[in-house]
Structure 1
Amino acid sequence: MTTPPQGPPPAPEWAPEHEVTTEAAAGLIAGRFPELAGAPVEPLAVGWDNTVFLVGGEWVFRFPRRRIAVPGVEREIAVLPAIAPRLPLPIPAPRFAAGPSEEFPWPFWGGRMIPGRELAEAGPGADRTVLAAQVGAFLRTLHDPVLAAEAGKGLPHDPMERSDPAVRAARTLPRLDSLVRLGVWERDPAVMGFLAEAAGRRPPAGNPVIVHGDLHVRHVLLDSAGRAAGVIDWGDVCLANPAVDLAVAYAGFAGAARAALLDAYGPVPPDREAAARVLALNLSATLAEWAASTGRATLLAEALAGIGRALSG
């Protein structure tokens, strides 16, 4: 006879360690930045690592939800102002930055809002070709070795091991198991075989560059015409192989759209492509698990589509 587990079930890994309410955010912002005192504060978005508020209809403030996110917040404050003027699409740039205090134990910051909607909300039928070319050109500029030499000092090297296909394949399998248990995905022999083969792969060759580090369909913003409006959420910015960001080419785009992205970006060696496809599966499975567990139907549909795109030609 199996003894049932005692006590409450373990908290999901995305559970906050420090939840900031709207009232608390308003007080923290007013206390550190008096010029914003009295400005309306509205909830804007919630992710695994940050709670985001819109202040005065103009400024977006990011508060860490988990201690693991704090180094990323510090990197955003340090690096984004240096690289933002160099990139062909808008990215957040801290205008207000606050260190830890008695009122809030971690740093937080605010920058001008980048209007737009997530690529995850575009729907599977949207034409992504023009958007893909813009993303490819953006990544080509971001991955310029000169930018890494001039603005990458002090950044860690791939701290999440996202360019290592063996590591990412191993971490994807439990995500897929969870999707099966949740009843939202059926095992695909092609996916399982690809991940088994990836377990023997080494990280791709090439010098590290500045990467966004977590580039997926929630972090590319679109305008009302479906063109790129910006790239957000840079908490995983680091130095790494370009494959880390190229995952979005395989999770977010397929067919003519992917070809447009890669044409704008430039040649991708086979070992880099393979690592990008593994990470595309990993990120898509992770987003799908979170979406299925938290009732985000639109994101779930997009993330499951990303699993399908990842291995498409």
Structure 2
Amino acid sequence: MTTPEWAPEHEVTAELASTLIAQRFHELRGAPVERLATGWDNTVFLVGGEWVFRFPRRRIAVPGVEREIAVLPVLAPRLPLPVPVPRFAGEPSDDFPWPFWGARTIRGRELADVRPPDGERAALAAATGAFLRALHDPVLARDAGGGLPLDPMDRADPAIRAGRTFGRLDALTALGVWKRDEAVTAYLTEALGRTAPGGDPVIVHGDLHVRHLLLAPDGRAAGVIDWGDVCVADPAVDLSLAYAGFTGAAREAFLAAYGPVPPEREAAARTLALNLSATLAEYAASTGRKALLAESLAGLRRAVGE
């Protein structure tokens, strides 16, 4: 049996997290620790009802954890939505071989869990577009982007991303959750002949999808989390959310707040939207996450629609 890509190399339990935190941060000794969320690369715990701690699950995530610790305190004051700001940074030890960090919690639920109707996403979309306009400011890249890698996962390259998506869709078909869609196949086939957009790179979140945008109880944007893939790249890397998460009037509101997106950047963003949606859908189908599966499959349809 093939080991899933998201299988942990180190699984941190609530008990271990409590021990590691108490050893390093005495003010948090005795605070209750409960598992909050699990992703491909990190396990997240709520500590004392106030702090969120992220522990890597796989070695590949460690450089991202280190970037979050270094960069998020610089980015946070420059952005219009809350992002995590590491307050506690844990060093590797014999008990746990990798760094980890804790920040004050951002209250909200993942877009993938809330799943508001498409027709009720305009305010959320507008706030997200304005957030990305600030994040993608070239001045911010000059001020804070010097130590960040350049698109290390080639997410702005539509040919590469399209080529990696066909297998994901085949897996979804084999799992019985997806029927082949001619519009999706045609778009990906065309994308195989496209090149990455030109232009100067900006700071990007790097993995901005429906799990990483948090919603407040009123449906508005509450914050943006999980910055392990922060890097410098073409803005298309983040604009994929405009096409996977929004459609119709909501997408128009996003783009009105963000600004013009040239055709080659739109094509790269749509291609990445297909890739991320297919990847999330395979993960969700394989791990029993029904809401994420439904949202990700909807993202595939949105990405090739208006």
Which bin holds the TM-score, normalised by the shorter protein? over 0.9
* Structure 2 CA distance for aligned equivalents of residues 87 and 285 of structure 1: 29
**Is residue 2:263 matched to residue 1:280?**
no
Which residue of structure 1 lines up, in the alignment, with residue 151 of structure 2? 158
Amino acid at match of 2:30: G
**1:105 is paired with a residue of what secondary structure?**
coil
Deviations 1:273-298 (CA, angstroms, capped at 9, x unpaired): 00000000000000000000000111
Which residue of structure 1 lines up, in the alignment, with residue 225 of structure 2? 232
Kindly report which structure 2 residues correspond to 1:1-313, keeping only aligned pairs within 5 A, or say none. 9-123=1-115, 125=117, 127-313=120-306
* Structure 1 CA distance for aligned equivalents of residues 145 and 291 of structure 2: 35
Q: TM-score, normalised by structure 2?
A: 0.99
1:208 Cα offset (Å): 0.3
Contact 2:111/2:212 (8 A) holds in 1? yes
Contact 2:116/2:219 (8 A) holds in 1? no
| Contiguous gaps of at least 5 residues in structure 2 | none
Deviations 1:23-74 (CA, angstroms, capped at 9, x unpaired): 0000000001111010000100000000000000000000000000000000
* Structure 2 CA distance for aligned equivalents of residues 258 and 179 of structure 1: 26
1:231 Cα offset (Å): 0.3
1:122 Cα offset (Å): 2.3
Contact 1:124/1:302 (8 A) holds in 2? no
1:100 Cα offset (Å): 1.1
1:10 Cα offset (Å): 1.7
* Structure 1 CA distance for aligned equivalents of residues 225 and 298 of structure 2: 22
1:123 Cα offset (Å): 2.3
* Structure 2 CA distance for aligned equivalents of residues 20 and 122 of structure 1: 27
Which residue of structure 2 lines up, in the alignment, with residue 4 of structure 1? none
**2:222 is paired with a residue of what secondary structure?**
strand
* Structure 2 CA distance for aligned equivalents of residues 308 and 198 of structure 1: 16
| Contiguous gaps of at least 5 residues in structure 1 | 1-8
* Structure 2 CA distance for aligned equivalents of residues 255 and 42 of structure 1: 39
* Structure 2 CA distance for aligned equivalents of residues 74 and 307 of structure 1: 32
1:99 Cα offset (Å): 1.7
Amino acid at match of 1:308: R
Amino acid at match of 1:193: A
**RMSD of aligned C-alpha atoms?**
0.7
Contact 1:166/1:199 (8 A) holds in 2? yes
Deviates more, 1:187-196 or 1:58-67: 187-196
Deviations 1:128-165 (CA, angstroms, capped at 9, x unpaired): 00000000000000000000000111100000100000
* Structure 2 CA distance for aligned equivalents of residues 191 and 305 of structure 1: 12
**2:260 is paired with a residue of what secondary structure?**
coil
